[in-house]
Amino acid sequence: MLLWILLLETSLCFAAGNVTGDVCKEKICSCNEIEGDLHVDCEKKGFTSLQRFTAPTSQFYHLFLHGNSLTRLFPNEFANFYNAVSLHMENNGLHEIVPGAFLGLQLVKRLHINNNKIKSFRKQTFLGLDDLEYLQADFNLLRDIDPGAFQDLNKLEVLILNDNLISTLPANVFQYVPITHLDLRGNRLKTLPYEEVLEQIPGIAEILLEDNPWDCTCDLLSLKEWLENIPKNALIGRVVCEAPTRLQGKDLNETTEQDLCPLKNRVDSSLPAPPAQEETFAPGPLPTPFKTNGQEDHATPGSAPNGGTKIPGNWQIKIRPTAAIATGSARNKPLANSLPCPGGCSCDHIPGSGLKMNCNNRNVSSLADLKPKLSNVQELFLRDNKIHSIRKSHFVDYKNLILLDLGNNNIATVENNTFKNLLDLRWLYMDSNYLDTLSREKFAGLQNLEYLNVEYNAIQLILPGTFNAMPKLRILILNNNLLRSLPVDVFAGVSLSKLSLHNNYFMYLPVAGVLDQLTSIIQIDLHGNPWECSCTIVPFKQWAERLGSEVLMSDLKCETASRSQHPPSYLISSIVSNFL
């Protein structure tokens, strides 16, 4: 009887005609052979679940599912896709992976779940991925990683976790995992212990640790020693101390054991430094922006021309999407000679179908000089050149760009609508240039931009509506500019998750109409601004308290105290409202 009902139900479902559809046979997705591999491309099909679909059973394939709405993955979600060898799930708004979701995917070697909203990796999240070698999970909201999260990944070599909210790695998380490449940039790590963490990745060949608030105390000594003993060049980028104040901005490799572990009877080194030392942040006269000595003055990694502020280190490796880690990949095949690369640049295939064109530090003064034009460039690197203006005509041949790096040039002029045709662009780096004003027109067309970096410019003015041109923007980096105010409703059209406003000239920021529009914020950095601790700061203080220290990256200090008695460097959080 029961069986009969089940059969009846099944046949009813078949009558509906939509139980399973072969995504290739029914042309739901495009399925093409590329360099001998079948690519099943189901990008942006509006899928919310995979249960009604199936894919070829007689052939292996790469499965592209990015830009769908697979927000939750349930056990056996991929049961009909067991011939997949790689799985691309970027930009799905994915926030929950129920353990067992990946069961059946024994052949998958590469899993891309970056640019989603995943908050935790639970025990057995990755159960079933027996052959996984490469896990890319950057740009999520990862905070909690269970000690057993990776225990099923006994072949995992590359783990990409940059730009998350990780503050600690649990003990033994790498116990069964043969990691060789690890990217932890842009997290909230203050320390990394040797016992039960570092000691478990003896095969490390590349590790990236930049942009974490390293706490250079005795606890970090074991990291320093470990870094000295791993293969030369395995550490990519810098490990810069954020605390204690006396070591702020210093490279870990340039500290001594004495610096890290001062004698026990000395003053507690984690206390804030006396005000005198804070004066490196004082505004005084407006500083000349970042670069002042003309074109040749490139940022020297490790130098600190603005006093206490930090200069980007080796930017080539800061580029997130194809982190240095991709370089070892056999997939980056050199381009056949038949396709010439513009003079001096190097061009490589990237996984998928596009090209990566690297013209960093090639004395380029205008994009118009890059010839011949290549049409399928997806990642264009032009850092450390001499470009002084960019205009729309420069980009007509680059409609497929996903990443554009124009950092450390001399760009002062961005023509209106310059990026109008770059509809797929997701990452834009324009840090360390001479931009002074941001407007909507300058960024028109960037409808898919998620990451905008304009730190270390001379930005004084952001016009109303500037970010409305970029509705998908999630990460906005505006630190080390000359900003004093923000226009009302500036954040109304975006849902930022990370915002850097530190080292500007804000004395005040309104809550109503500005800060209260940051409804999705999970990380904001406001330090190094001369907050004026008068009555007007009260709503700001209350807003900061509501966010809490989890979101607010560092302490806020009063700079001017016009109507109050609070000395400079007084912590805003410790002001009692009645005093103001």
Ligand X SMILES: *[C@@H]1O[C@H](CO)[C@@H](O)[C@H](O)[C@H]1NC(C)=O
Q: Which residues of 244-272 are buried (b: 16+ CB within 10 A; e: fewer)?
A: bbebbbbbbeebeeebbebeeeeeebeee
The one-letter amino acid code at 59 reads Q
φ/ψ of 30, rounded to 5, equals -100, 130
Q: Which is nearer to ligand X, 329 or 365 (CB)?
A: 365
- Percent composition of the chain: helix, strand, coil (DSSP 3-state, to 5): 15, 20, 65
- The DSSP string of 145-164 is E-TTTTTT-TT--EEE--SS
The one-letter amino acid code at 239 reads V
Q: Which is nearer to ligand X, 253 or 393 (CB)?
A: 253
For residue 331, how far is the Cα from the chain centroid?
23
Q: Which is nearer to ligand X, 95 or 440 (CB)?
A: 440
Q: How far apart are CA 194 and CA 184, in angstroms?
A: 16
| CB of 219 vs ligand X, minimal distance in Å | 20
Name the strand (E) or helix (H) holding 40: strand 37-41
| CB of 232 vs ligand X, minimal distance in Å | 11
Q: Which is nearer to ligand X, 234 or 580 (CB)?
A: 234
Q: Is the peptide bond before 147 cis (omega within 30 degrees of 0)?
A: no
Cβ-based neighbours of 553, under 8 Å, separated by 6 or more: 213, 502, 523, 524, 525, 526, 527
Q: Which is nearer to ligand X, 45 or 246 (CB)?
A: 45
| CB of 397 vs ligand X, minimal distance in Å | 21
Q: Which is nearer to ligand X, 196 or 441 (CB)?
A: 441
| CB of 14 vs ligand X, minimal distance in Å | 10
| CB of 531 vs ligand X, minimal distance in Å | 32
- Residue with nearest beta carbon to ligand X: 17
| Strand-pair category, 120-121 with 144-145 | parallel
The DSSP call for residue 274 is: P
Q: Which is nearer to ligand X, 16 or 576 (CB)?
A: 16
| CB of 410 vs ligand X, minimal distance in Å | 12
| CB of 44 vs ligand X, minimal distance in Å | 15
Q: How far apart are CA 120 and CA 139, in angstroms?
A: 13
| CB of 238 vs ligand X, minimal distance in Å | 5
Contacts to ligand X by CB under 6 A: 16-18, 238, 251, 253-254, 301-302, 363, 365, 416, 441
Q: Per the structure block, which two tokens stand in for 505?
A: 């000239």
Q: Which is nearer to ligand X, 13 or 571 (CB)?
A: 13
- The DSSP string of 468-509 is GG-TT--EEE--SS------TTTTTT---SEEE--SS--S--
* C-beta contacts of 557-562 below 8 A and 24+ residues apart: 557/278, 557/527, 557/531, 558/531, 558/532, 558/533, 559/282, 559/283, 559/507, 559/529, 559/530, 559/531, 559/532, 559/533, 560/507, 560/530, 560/532, 560/533, 561/532, 561/533, 561/534, 562/532, 562/534
| CB of 463 vs ligand X, minimal distance in Å | 8
Q: Which is nearer to ligand X, 363 or 573 (CB)?
A: 363
Evaluated on CA atoms 290, 293, 298, 302, the torsion sign reads negative
Q: Which 3-state string (H, E, C) describes 303-350?
A: CCCCCCCCCCCCHHHHCCCCCHHHHHCCCCCECCCCCCCCCCCEEEEC
Q: Which 3-state string (H, E, C) describes 183-210?
A: ECCCCCCCCCCCCCCHHHCCCCCEEECC
Q: Which is nearer to ligand X, 23 or 40 (CB)?
A: 23
Q: Which is nearer to ligand X, 303 or 578 (CB)?
A: 303
| CB of 102 vs ligand X, minimal distance in Å | 25
| CB of 303 vs ligand X, minimal distance in Å | 10
| CB of 29 vs ligand X, minimal distance in Å | 13
3-state SS, residue 178: coil
| CB of 15 vs ligand X, minimal distance in Å | 8
